[in-house]
Amino acid sequence: MINPDTPPKRIVIAIHPKMDGAQQAANDISEFLSGQGLDAYSGLLFDETLRSRVNAGDFDLMIALGGDGTMLRAVHLCAPNNVPILGINLGGLGFLIEIARNEWEVALEKVLRGDYWLETRMMLHTEHLRGDELLGSWDVLNECVVGRGEMVRPVFLKAEIDGHPLTTYVADGLIVSTPTGSTAYALAAGGPVLPPILRNILLVPIAPHLSIDRAIVLHEGSEVSIEVKTDHLASLSMDGHEPVQLQDRDIVRARASEYVALFVRFQDPDYFYRNLTSHMNQNPSASQIT
């Protein structure tokens, strides 16, 4: 929990390009901030100008308009630049967001008074290696998933913790999750819910066959290494992004990232349990299925 030194003055509004009402909401927020004597830059979350300005340190707050997917992508951009994010939910579930579509004006009034706190959430640093060659690296908020490709056949995943053998999973996949991700794919795969204040790494197998079928909670200082053993395609997916194809003997490593996600919060720190109960009692995403 971090108390801000001063209210933000340099604000960027990031819009999900396909979210209904996002552009109008951005216009309304810009007009409100202008009335408070502040100029906010507004643009699509994937716009290169917006992204380059965040990377250049031009802003001290991002207002993200969308759903949880928008928040994940905002974190990928903002965390390395230490920019806090205020999410306004225009989507469905909103596990990462506490401000509803019709509550943004009250929330922004509090932000401009400095009446808020910053929640820090652990991220994962993930690497993809082939032999000694590093093919890619990512910092993610929810999880990385090593699993089978399009063919419905399990993969063999040789897992090590800090260089020591753990087991070889025969499964559809293995989720390496943060506490934030424990309420995402890991929860659907049968993993436990971890409060986001923790800094642990969670391993959850997906449909294991005659393998360890229990989730394992690791210390934040641990490093997970997963070697793929397969004669067909496997994949690596980070926070729901497009998957990266893996080959036999490729290795995926995951450890705690040097970056953290910063979220603007107004409720007391125990808000997580109240929100969790309401989300799990009635999943609003289900109502979108026709």
Tens digits of per-residue pLDDT, 17-44?
888 889 999 999 999 999 999 989 999 9
Catalytic residue among 39, 68, 132, 268: 68
Distance, in Å, from the CA atom of 194 to the CA atom of 84, rounded to the nearest integer, reads: 22
Q: Tell me, what's the pLDDT at 118? A: 95
- pLDDT of residue 3 exceeding 80: no
Distance, in Å, from the CA atom of 84 to the CA atom of 114, rounded to the nearest integer, reads: 13
Q: Tell me, what's the pLDDT at 180? A: 96
pTM score > 0.85 for this model?
yes
Distance, in Å, from the CA atom of 241 to the CA atom of 283, rounded to the nearest integer, reads: 23
Kindly state the average pLDDT of the residues 7-13.
Answer: 95
The number of beta carbons lying within 10 Å of the beta carbon of residue 63 is 29
Tens digits of per-residue pLDDT, 101-139?
899 999 999 999 999 999 999 999 999 999 999 999 999
Catalytic, 39? Answer: no
Walk me through the domains of the chain, giving residue ranges and CATH numbers.
11-116+266-288 (3.40.50.10330), 124-258 (2.60.200.30)
